[in-house]
Structure 1
Amino acid sequence: MSSPRARERKPPWLRQFIPKSSPLVVTVCEGCGLYIIQDRESVWESWDCGLVEGDDLTVAIILGRPLTRVVWLPSVGHPLLRSVSGCAGIRPDGQYLAGHTCRLARVSVKPFTPPKMERPPGKPWGGPRLSKQEIAEFKRIWNMPYSRLKYEKAPTMVGQGDEKQTLF
C-alpha cells in the first residue's frame, strides 16, 4: 500500500514544531491530501497544520471545530496537546490546533514559533540605577492620593515642576 500524495508543500515550521522525539506525527490526509498533525499517544486524533489564536480562535468556535491546546515543553523541545471541551478551557491568549475535517478549509495557516528562552534564574536584572533622590520622589508620587495627584505639577527634573500634569 503506497502512502497518499500531498497536494501541498510541507510547511517548513513543522520540522521545528514536531521533532523526531515527539509522540506527534506529521502525515498526509488520505482523503484530501493536506498535511495534518496526528496525536498517536492514546486515541488517534488529526489536527490541521496551522496555529489557531486571536481572531482565528473566534472563527473556530463559531464553526464548531474541535480544538486542542498547544503546550510547549522547552525541556524536551516539543509540544504537548491538551484537549479542551467546547468553549470550556479556552483562553484568549492560548495557542490551539483545530481538528481536521476532510475537504474543508483550514481555520488558520499561521506557523508556530517556539517561545523565547527564559532568563536563567538567579541573574540580576541589571536595569537602570536610580539615585536615592529619584527613589524618594517616586515613593512620594506613588503614595499620593489621586485627588491630589490630579493637580500635581509634572517634574521636569527630579523634585521640580513648572507645568500642570495632564495624565488624567
Structure 2
Amino acid sequence: MRRSTGERKPAWLRSFIPEPNLSHLVTRKCAGCGQYIIEDRENIWQQWDYGIIQGENLTVAVILGRPLTRVTWITAARQPRLTNVCGTAGLKPDGRYLAAHECGRMRISVEPYKPPRRERPPGQPWGGPDLEPDELAEFTRVWNLPCEALRT
C-alpha cells in the first residue's frame, strides 16, 4: 500500500468551499510542492494558499510582495467570493485575504476561515426599530387597507 506524503487537508476547507460542481473554487494538492491550495477556476485559473491573512500578517504579505485576493462571504449562497486587489490599492485593514501560492515558499498564514454568523436565526422575529404606539396603529391601519384604497 502506497502511503500519501505531504500534509493533511484542513477540515475547515470543506465548509469554506462547497461542492465543486456548485462553485468555481476547488481545493487540491499542488503538483509541484504537495501543499493544499485553493484554485479559482472562474476566468483565469489562479492558485491561492489556504491560510487567511489579516492584521499583522497583512503587513507581512505586503512587504513580501505577494499578490492578494479579498475574501467576501456570501451568506445567501454560503460560499466565498474572491476579489483580487492590485498591490496595496484596495486593501482594507479589517479585510480577510488569501495570498497567491508560490511553490517552495512558506505560507504566510494557516489561520482557518470562520464565516460570519447569520444576522439572525431563521424563524426568529426581527425585533425592528422601536415604534411609538401611534406609529404602530397607523402601520396596522394601512396594512389592513384593501389594495384599491391604497391606489387613491
How would you bin the TM-score normalised by the shorter chain? 0.7 to 0.9
SS of 1:52 mapped into structure 2: coil
After TM superposition, the score normalised by the length of structure 1 is 0.69
Unaligned 5+ residue runs, structure 2? 131-152
Q: How does 1:7-156 map to 2 (within 5 A)?
A: 7-20=6-19, 21-119=22-120, 123-124=126-127
% identity of equivalent residues: 53
SS of 2:57 mapped into structure 1: helix
What is the rounded CA distance, in whole Å, between the counterparts of 1:72 and 1:6 in structure 2? 32
Residues paired across the two proteins, number: 123
Q: 1:67 to 1:6 in 2, by over 3 A?
A: farther
SS of 1:36 mapped into structure 2: strand
Q: Which has the higher contact order (CA 8 A, sep 6+)?
A: 2
1:122 positional shift? 6.8
Summarize deviations over 1:84-121 as a string: whole Å, max 9, x none. 00000000000000000001000100001110100279
What is the rounded CA distance, in whole Å, between the counterparts of 2:120 and 2:14 in structure 1? 25
What is the rounded CA distance, in whole Å, between the counterparts of 1:41 and 1:57 in structure 2? 25
1:6 positional shift? 5.2
User: Bigger radius of gyration, 1 or 2?
Assistant: 1
After TM superposition, the score normalised by the length of structure 2 is 0.76
Q: 1:73 to 1:6 in 2, by over 3 A?
A: farther
1:77 positional shift? 0.8
1:157 — aligned with what?
Answer: none
What is the rounded CA distance, in whole Å, between the counterparts of 2:104 and 2:89 in structure 1? 27
1:49 positional shift? 1.0
What is the rounded CA distance, in whole Å, between the counterparts of 1:19 and 1:74 in structure 2? 13
SS of 2:52 mapped into structure 1: strand
Unaligned 5+ residue runs, structure 1? 128-168
